[in-house]
């Protein structure tokens, strides 16, 4: 996975009725755009994220 500051990250839910999570990447800590990322989620929370196989990045 490769991302830049300002890209969006979307994590699909693994439960049928649960919504997906969306956020903005505000810091890239891995080498060459790799994880981990600091993400500001749509609910306002910020956190360090190591995306799993259910996540994808949308370039800004």
Q: What are 24-43's pLDDT values in tens digits?
A: 999 999 999 999 999 999 99
> Cα-atom radius of gyration of the chain, to the nearest Å?
11
- pLDDT confidence tier of residue 14, bands split at 50, 70 and 90: confident
Which pLDDT does position 40 carry in this prediction? 98
- How many structural domains comprise the chain? 1
| Domain membership flag for residue 1 | no
* Residue-averaged pLDDT of the chain: 95
Which pLDDT does position 18 carry in this prediction? 86
Which pLDDT does position 16 carry in this prediction? 84
Which pLDDT does position 38 carry in this prediction? 98
Instruction: Count other Cβ atoms within 10 Å, centred on residue 55.
Output: 18
Domain that residue 31 falls in: 8-58
| Domain membership flag for residue 3 | no
User: Three-class SS of residue 31?
Assistant: helix
| Domain membership flag for residue 39 | yes
| Domain membership flag for residue 2 | no
Token pair recorded at residue 25: 């990447």
Burial level of 23, CB count in 10 A (0-12/13-18/19+)? Answer: buried
């Amino acid at each position: 996975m490769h991302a830049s500051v300002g890209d969006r990250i979307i994590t699909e839910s693994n439960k049928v009725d649960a919504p997906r999570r969306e956020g903005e990447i505000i810091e890239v800590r891995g080498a060459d755009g790799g994880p981990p990322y600091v993400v500001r989620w749509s609910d306002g929370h910020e956190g360090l994220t190591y995306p799993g196989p259910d996540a994808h990045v949308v370039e800004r």
